[in-house]
Amino acid sequence: MAGLHDTLDSLSLKSSVAYVIDQETQEILLSKNDQAVLPIASITKLMTGVIVRESNLSMDEPIMISQEDVDTEKGSRSRLMVGATLSRGELLHLALMASENRAAHALGRSHPGGLSEFVKLMNAKAAKIDMKDTFYVEPTGLSSKNQSSAKDLATLVGFAYNDLVLRDLSTSHSHAVSVGNKTLQYKTTNNLVRSPNWDIGLQKTGYISEAGQCLVMQAQIAGRKLIMVFLDSAGRFSRIADAERVRKWVETYHSARINS
């Protein structure tokens, strides 16, 4: 609606917003509409993970999925039925790896002080790490009122990367959970973590209609640790294609200088 897709770039990216920086030097390798403030969909769950990890609550504590965790805004589906009980750690795993909305909502709802306190902590953390364009209203990303900019999300990725658990859970290929007498098998929403061409340290995908296809990652490419942000990508597979375009471009033109 803002005409961001009319912005041209040298790589012909399908994402209307893109931002790639060197994690160590902060050199900007690619920038496209990086200050635009847009809905961020399930990229939200990365901040949800940060707050859960910083709460120092037991990862083994059982949490029951309640009717409150059912999505009434988008009507999204979930295999976690009301009454299912998982540990906080399992819910965090499913939220980050498989973008499980009821898992993310349950993490916020069960936090001391409830959902409203959890959202306050999300916004306070964003302010503390200088995410000036960011605002959260809930922990899943289903609301289009959760908004941020590519620069802010790069800051968040860099911060979250410091937590080994967030790195491991977000880049997990698959995970099985036992719910009652059933075993539910979940898979990553980002197939790039399975690819031998990629060395991904942290990632999160997102999609709602208002946000388009979104992707944030920390990845090592051509000897450089990079943070990559793609927002409002046009098609189902275009965010992945954009990431591949950037990888090949970096490998060709931005390889790390190795002293002989």
Catalytic residue list contains 58: no
Q: What are the C-alpha distances in Å from 218 to residues 162, 169, 211? A: 11, 14, 21
Residue indicated by tokens 């208002």:
210
Strands of the chain, DSSP E? 15-22, 28-32, 38-39, 62-64, 85-87, 147-148, 174-179, 182-187, 200-208, 212-221, 224-233
Give the tokens for residue 190: 């980002």
Looking at residue 234, what is its pLDDT? 82
Looking at residue 11, what is its pLDDT? 84
CB 199 within 8 A of CB 219: yes
Average pLDDT, 10 consecutive residues per value, the chain (260 residues): 58 91 96 94 98 97 98 92 97 98 98 98 98 98 98 98 98 95 95 96 96 96 96 86 93 67
Looking at residue 7, what is its pLDDT? 63
Task: State the catalytic residue, choosing from 14, 16, 32, 42.
Answer: 42
Q: Reduce the secondary structure of 45-102 to three states and give it as a string.
A: HHHHHHHHHHCCCCCCCEEECCHHHCCCCCCCCCCCCCCCEEEHHHHHHHHHHCCCHH
Cα gap 12→245, rounded to integer Å: 9
Does residue 128 come out as left (phi exceeding 0), alpha (psi in the -120 to 50 range) or beta?
A: alpha
Task: State the catalytic residue, choosing from 16, 99, 233, 238.
Answer: 99
Looking at residue 2, what is its pLDDT? 52
Task: State the catalytic residue, choosing from 14, 16, 32, 45.
Answer: 45
CB 229: neighbour CB atoms within 10 A? 30
For the chain, the domains span 4-253
Give the tokens for residue 26: 């902060």
Q: Which CATH number fits domain 4-253: 3.40.50.1370, 1.10.8.420, 3.40.50.1820, 3.40.710.10?
A: 3.40.710.10
E strand or H helix at 115:
helix 114-128
Looking at residue 124, what is its pLDDT? 98
Residues 6+ apart with CB under 8 A from 25: none
Looking at residue 12, what is its pLDDT? 82
The DSSP result for 25-38, as a single string, is T--EEEEESTT--E
Catalytic residue list contains 45: yes
Catalytic residue list contains 31: no
Bridge partners of 64?
Answer: 85
Looking at residue 157, what is its pLDDT? 98
Looking at residue 256, what is its pLDDT? 64
Looking at residue 61, what is its pLDDT? 98
